[in-house]
Amino acid sequence: MTYERTKQLFDLIWLKTQLIHVNINLRLCRDPKDDFILNLATEAKAHCIITGDADLLVLNPVNEIRILTIADFLQSV
């Protein structure tokens, strides 16, 4: 990916960034340290989680949230 394309993607992500207060405590992941990511994504009504973490990827999807590797995400955009 070129620098310019990377910058465009970063700028797009930055424009969509928002502060989320997490008030739920789902326990779904086989690695309990990763549950906060699922809680945050659920609270934020995220469409997807982009990760390389196998403990999260194996759960795909969770509450209609797709869990993707970066390669799979980039192929889908």
Instruction: Indicate whether 11 belongs to any domain.
Output: no
- Alpha-carbon span 19 to 5, nearest angstrom: 25
In a domain, 34, yes or no: yes
Span 61-70, pLDDT tens digits: 999 999 999 9
What is the C-alpha separation between 11 and 7, in angstroms, rounded? 6
Averaged pLDDT score across all residues of the chain: 95
Please check whether residue 17 lies inside any domain of the structure: no
Identify whether 13 is part of a domain. no
pLDDT, mean of residues 54-66: 97
Q: Is 8 inside a domain boundary? A: no
Q: Which residues form the domain of 28?
A: 23-76
- Whether 54 is in a domain gets the answer yes
List, for residues 16-46, the tens digit of each pLDDT value.
888 899 999 999 999 999 999 999 999 999 9
State how many domains the chain has. 1
- Calculate what percentage of the chain has a pLDDT beyond 90: 91
Q: What is the reported pLDDT for 28?
A: 95
pTM: predicted TM-score of the whole model, two decimal places: 0.74
